Structure 1
């Protein structure tokens, strides 16, 4: 009898502790919130883990958001899209709006780059193409916000995405050359003589 009562108590506590699964609408809202802040494409399994939801439900939520942003089902077509890149999902500005967004960012952000941004830009310039993780390893700090700043300024770009890992590789743009007043990255000064031991943090540099 005692055993039956204990089992019933445990089952009752489990029922109380287990949160109700989110509705399809709420799941889409939570997914959208995450996608608004990520810097790199996120796989479905990663998103499902973060949301505590079944992979199948997350896939359905992604499809619903894609259709919504694309203007299907009588909804207005957005200026951004949910795009699959390298096996992951991320929100991007639509290609037809790239020029106006770039002009806005460049005219609205005339301030000088911080020391952290300059150091990160130097790493990318000398080591490109390079991933965010590799940059962070070299600088020994988190570089997420700095990379976003450099992307926003148009000084770096997403060169390509690794098909296996989904990691984005970054490179510099022609705008950087213009800002530096050079025609090619080959005109950058050798970095090794400026380092304490000639190699720290920058292997195989000129």
Structure 2
């Protein structure tokens, strides 16, 4: 199979997947080498940059995905708005703390926010944006939380090193999470953690 039909096959896979696909996975599905897939991705990315195209190819969350071009996202969001319920401010604040302090316990999150966070954690778990990644080596062995690949996908990040400032997660009129300790550092009560098998 030449690169041109491979490019078409890669585009079809990315179109139906609806989530990032790794080079290795696409190569395995198509029965070709990873170099061939990378060449096809380069050609597809170039084709998507042509004027008038509504989608673009991006590297995100450890894979590649076809997404709406930025200039057309408002129209797409208008279409999807009735189907999507926005995260509350409390959930966004909780998500920011998990993203920057992970692995982190509920007690640590509540110490930073100053209020209970059980509902926000439950919402984020249901949305698939955070997950349980282990237990902390502390009395009661509380659950540790971390973000998921879907979180990276939602915010268009290749990995956690690309995290924006904490203020990007909350409305501009909300109190600064930086000042409340959402940025990376030592957990409020110290101690060590025991990551679970899903931790990265």
TM-score by length of structure 2 reads 0.46
Greater C-alpha Rg: 1
TM-score, with normalisation over the residues of structure 1? 0.45
